[in-house]
């Protein structure tokens, strides 16, 4: 078994990816799936912006627009940003801590397949009677009222993909706590690993409330329960709480790894140690902690009362303090450094002012009485896009350029990258800056159209032009990826020349076991330390070359996920739901509905039983094989030809 891509048949390749438990391959699958959904959600955004380009436009209908806005938000957060960050977490975190894989490779694969099939399920709604249309927040009164199966697709799709996210989060927590190489103490962990750990912990605590909320919604919608039906004693505000107890930490789940990525990029291209490492770690943990204390600032206008609003206003403002610490630490990292403006650094440099702009509007909204004006207006739309695009998407794009050499042994084109950055960056500000003012000028969000002569026409037009530029930027980035496939393999370590953490010490392409010998970490920025001491191998080792224990591939994660997918259809077409009874949604016979649920869950549980009864102890790569693989790799790097043995 060689890690250098051997010529395999297409079927064998596909099978390899369907069954893989290798964190590097799962990372690539996350990247591909995340990019697909990012493109879909981006297209939805463009449709919406074209609809709003002119007043009273009829490009899309009111109902379609609500489906677009719901799917745009849901997809971008759950099915694009999350998997794209998971892609980098999977690809890089094990390398940064000196591990050969994650703690639970099987669960890693299960997490991916659950996410992917949940996402596919949700998107089938477009072809099966209409997508969800109650916003990504899916507030209970509207979502219970919504006819058809859109909301059911939302509830079930997110339930499945949410389980996948939760599983992946647990996996990363355990990986980072238990799989660190000797000497990689907590306070030597790279910031991306730290933020991944904190973010995964947030997932662990934030997703259960969502799961509970979705489950209650599921039985409300599909089996006629009344948790949120106020006419039957239910309460819709409970949904708002459950959703935002999840929903606010979700923002930090996404933005913290993005902070981590920038904390990796900036020191490399400033050629300088991250300023205030320990305060960065402290700030990360503090943001994660405070992230759970502020959810009700999404509900200032719900009518919780002055005291609740006051407490949540102050709590929300406090988040600005650790966030400010981070921003200043980044700037002080640059200060006194030697700045090289590469594409990843360009994204990092663009990120700082954009994110600060998004952050300060957050403080403005934390001022509860002011938020009464800003809430649910375009001001909010501008604010969270400054945070999400300015903070998270720039991190993803920057990290793609930054880590491409490690993930694919290829580099993305710098010139094209610079062009992409400027088009995207200018487009981004053009789209969202003026939306602050649209909100202040009285434009509510989530409107499918507006009447002319309300003073909004020009800004909406400019905003749409900006959105089109962002679209062009994304197309250029995809083009860059496609071009890179045909480019020369790099076959080297430390592509950027100033790598600091362990992942840069590895020579690409990586063997499937990552580290021939487990490294010994002698300090923060271990690769930098070794380089400074003239160590040509980039690391010192904690063990002699020995047998390596690796996990077996398995198709069971996919089968388990397919089981939940089938069961979801059974629940979706349940004949007991209010909408089904009212005749506003199709349903199947009780037998078929229950049958599908039993069959689907049976497949899942059966696969779990099979997994439990048959011990899978993995296998060992013996020393002789390791030497052969390393020889192969060395030959490949030198000549570009694949080895003959095996």
User: Is there a contact between 489 and 409 (Cβ–Cβ < 8 Å)?
Assistant: yes
**Helix, strand, or coil here: 128?**
coil
Dihedral angle of Cα 279, 86, 189, 183, to the nearest 10 degrees: 160
Q: Check residue 523 for interaction with other proteins (CB under 8 A).
A: no
Q: Considering beta carbons, is residue 18 or 364 the nearer one to other proteins?
A: 364
Q: Considering beta carbons, is residue 145 or 619 the nearer one to other proteins?
A: 145
Q: Considering beta carbons, is residue 305 or 534 the nearer one to other proteins?
A: 305
Subset of 364-383 contacting other proteins (CB under 8 A): 364, 367-373, 375-377
One of 183, 324, 489, 546 touching other proteins (CB under 8 A) = 324
Q: Check residue 328 for interaction with other proteins (CB under 8 A).
A: yes
One of 303, 534, 544, 644 touching other proteins (CB under 8 A) = 303
Q: Considering beta carbons, is residue 372 or 619 the nearer one to other proteins?
A: 372
Q: Considering beta carbons, is residue 447 or 608 the nearer one to other proteins?
A: 447
234: left (phi over 0), alpha (psi -120 to 50) or beta: beta
Q: Check residue 19 for interaction with other proteins (CB under 8 A).
A: no
User: Among 25-33, 204-212, 323-331, 501-509, which window interacts with other proteins (CB under 8 A)?
Assistant: 323-331
Between CA 264 and CA 193 the distance in angstroms is 10
Q: Check residue 321 for interaction with other proteins (CB under 8 A).
A: yes
User: Among 313-321, 475-483, 580-588, 616-624, which window interacts with other proteins (CB under 8 A)?
Assistant: 313-321
Give me the least distance between CB of 390 and other proteins, in Å please. Answer: 13
Give me the least distance between CB of 67 and other proteins, in Å please. Answer: 10
Q: Which residues are within 8 A (CB) of 92 and not within 5 positions of it... i.e. 6 or more apart?
A: 192, 403, 406, 503
Q: Considering beta carbons, is residue 24 or 297 the nearer one to other proteins?
A: 297
One of 275, 347, 573, 636 touching other proteins (CB under 8 A) = 275
| Size of the residue set binding other proteins (CB under 8 A) | 91
One of 309, 394, 463, 484 touching other proteins (CB under 8 A) = 309
Q: Which residues are within 8 A (CB) of 409 and not within 5 positions of it... i.e. 6 or more apart?
A: 489, 490, 491, 508, 509
* Cα atoms in the Cβ-side hemisphere of radius 13 Å centred on 502: 33
Q: What are phi and psi of 133, to 5 degrees?
A: -140, 25
Give me the least distance between CB of 357 and other proteins, in Å please. Answer: 6
User: Is there a contact between 158 and 122 (Cβ–Cβ < 8 Å)?
Assistant: yes
Between CA 412 and CA 482 the distance in angstroms is 9
Q: Considering beta carbons, is residue 211 or 235 the nearer one to other proteins?
A: 235
Q: Check residue 276 for interaction with other proteins (CB under 8 A).
A: yes
Q: Which residue shows structure tokens 């224990």?
A: 549
Between CA 98 and CA 513 the distance in angstroms is 11
Q: Which residues are within 8 A (CB) of 180 and not within 5 positions of it... i.e. 6 or more apart?
A: 97, 98, 99, 189, 521
Subset of 28-67 contacting other proteins (CB under 8 A): 61-63, 65-66
Q: Which residue shows structure tokens 């106020």?
A: 230
Between CA 514 and CA 132 the distance in angstroms is 43
One of 12, 16, 32, 455 touching other proteins (CB under 8 A) = 455
Give me the least distance between CB of 346 and other proteins, in Å please. Answer: 8
Encoded tokens for 133? 């249309």
Q: Check residue 635 for interaction with other proteins (CB under 8 A).
A: no
Q: Check residue 546 for interaction with other proteins (CB under 8 A).
A: no
- Identify the bridge partners of residue 549 per DSSP, sorted by sequence position: 620
Between CA 512 and CA 497 the distance in angstroms is 24
Subset of 414-433 contacting other proteins (CB under 8 A): 429, 433
DSSP symbols for 104-119:
-HHHHHHHHHHHHHHH
Q: Considering beta carbons, is residue 185 or 338 the nearer one to other proteins?
A: 338
Subset of 64-83 contacting other proteins (CB under 8 A): 65-66, 69
Per-residue binder mask for other proteins (CB under 8 A), 186-225, x = binder: ----------------------------------------
Give me the least distance between CB of 157 and other proteins, in Å please. Answer: 19
Subset of 168-187 contacting other proteins (CB under 8 A): none
Q: Which residues are within 8 A (CB) of 503 and not within 5 positions of it... i.e. 6 or more apart?
A: 92, 95, 96, 406
Between CA 47 and CA 56 the distance in angstroms is 15
Q: Check residue 640 for interaction with other proteins (CB under 8 A).
A: no
Subset of 235-264 contacting other proteins (CB under 8 A): 235-237
Subset of 594-633 contacting other proteins (CB under 8 A): none
Q: Considering beta carbons, is residue 361 or 484 the nearer one to other proteins?
A: 361
One of 110, 176, 352, 633 touching other proteins (CB under 8 A) = 352
Between CA 402 and CA 415 the distance in angstroms is 14
Residue closest to 76 by CA, chosen among 392, 463, 288: 392
Q: Check residue 338 for interaction with other proteins (CB under 8 A).
A: yes
Q: Check residue 301 for interaction with other proteins (CB under 8 A).
A: yes
End-to-end CA distance of the chain: 6
DSSP symbols for 187-233:
GGS-HHHHHHHHHHHHHHHHHHHHHHHHHHHHHHHHH---SS-GGGT
Subset of 95-154 contacting other proteins (CB under 8 A): 133-135, 139, 141-142, 145-146
Q: Check residue 592 for interaction with other proteins (CB under 8 A).
A: no
């Amino acid at each position: 078994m060689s890690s250098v891509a051997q010529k395999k048949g297409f079927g064998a390749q596909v099978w390899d990816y369907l069954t893989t438990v290798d964190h590097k391959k799962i990372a690539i699958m996350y990247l591909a799936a995340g990019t697909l959904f990012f493109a879909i959600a981006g297209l939805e955004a463009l449709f919406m912006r074209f609809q709003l380009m002119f007043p009273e436009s009829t490009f899309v209908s009111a109902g379609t627009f609500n489906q677009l806005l719901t799917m745009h938000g849901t997809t971008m957060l759950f099915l694009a940003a999350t998997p794209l960050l998971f892609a980098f977490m999977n690809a890089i975190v094990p390398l940064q801590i000196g591990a050969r894989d994650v703690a639970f490779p099987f669960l890693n694969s299960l997490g991916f397949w659950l996410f992917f099939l949940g996402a596919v399920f949700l998107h089938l709604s477009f072809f099966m009677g209409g997508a969800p249309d109650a916003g990504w927040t899916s507030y209970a009164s509207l979502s219970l009222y919504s006819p058809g199966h859109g909301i059911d697709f939302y509830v079930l799709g997110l339930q499945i993909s949410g389980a996948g996210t939760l599983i992946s989060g647990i996996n990363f927590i355990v990986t980072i706590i238990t799989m660190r190489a000797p000497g990689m103490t907590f306070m030597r962990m790279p910031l991306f690993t730290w933020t991944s750990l904190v973010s995964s912990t947030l997932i662990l605590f934030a997703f259960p409330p969502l799961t509970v909320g979705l489950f209650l919604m599921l039985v409300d919608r599909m089996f006629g329960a009344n948790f949120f039906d106020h006419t039957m004693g239910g309460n819709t505000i409970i949904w708002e709480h459950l959703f935002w107890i999840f929903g606010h930490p979700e923002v930090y789940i996404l933005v913290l790894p993005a902070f981590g990525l920038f904390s990796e990029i900036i020191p490399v291209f400033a050629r300088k140690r991250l300023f205030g490492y320990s305060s960065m770690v402290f700030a990360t943990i503090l943001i994660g902690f405070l992230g759970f204390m502020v959810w009700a600032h999404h509900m200032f206008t719900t009518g919780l009362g002055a005291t609740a609003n006051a407490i949540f206003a102050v709590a929300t403002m406090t988040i600005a303090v650790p966030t400010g610490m981070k921003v200043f630490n980044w700037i002080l990292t640059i200060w006194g450094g030697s700045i090289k403006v590469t594409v990843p650094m360009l994204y990092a440099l663009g990120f700082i002012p954009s994110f600060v702009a998004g952050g300060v509007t957050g403080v403005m909204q934390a001022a509860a009485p002011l938020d009464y004006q800003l809430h649910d207006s375009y001001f909010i739309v501008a604010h969270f896009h400054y945070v999400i695009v300015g903070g998270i998407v720039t991190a993803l794009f920057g990290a793609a350029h930054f880590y491409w050499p490690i993930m694919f042994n290829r580099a993305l084109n710098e010139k094209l990258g610079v062009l992409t950055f400027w088009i995207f960056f200018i487009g981004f500000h053009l789209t969202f800056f003026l939306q602050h003012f649209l909100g202040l000028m009285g434009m509510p969000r989530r409107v499918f159209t507006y009447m002319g002569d309300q003073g909004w026409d020009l800004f909406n037009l400019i905003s749409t032009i900006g959105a089109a530029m962002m679209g062009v930027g994304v197309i250029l980035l995809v083009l860059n990826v496609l071009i890179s496939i045909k480019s020369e393999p790099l076959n080297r370590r430390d592509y950027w020349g100033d790598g600091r953490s362990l992942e840069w010490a590895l020579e690409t392409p990586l063997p499937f076991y990552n580290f021939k010998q487990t490294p010994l970490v002698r300090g923060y920025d271990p690769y930098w330390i070794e380089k400074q001491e003239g160590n040509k191998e980039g690391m010192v080792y904690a063990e002699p070359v020995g047998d390596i224990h690796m996990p077996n591939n398995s198709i069971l994660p996919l089968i388990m996920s397919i089981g939940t997918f089938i069961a979801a259809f059974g629940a979706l077409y349940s004949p007991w739901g209010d909408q089904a009874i009212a005749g506003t949604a199709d349903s199947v016979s009780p037998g078929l509905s229950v049958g599908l649920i039993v069959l689907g869950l049976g497949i899942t549980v059966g696969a779990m039983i099979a997994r439990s009864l048959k011990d899978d102890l993995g296998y060992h790569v013996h020393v002789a094989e390791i030497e052969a693989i390393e020889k192969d790799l060395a030959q490949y790097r030198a000549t570009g030809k694949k080895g003959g043995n095996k």
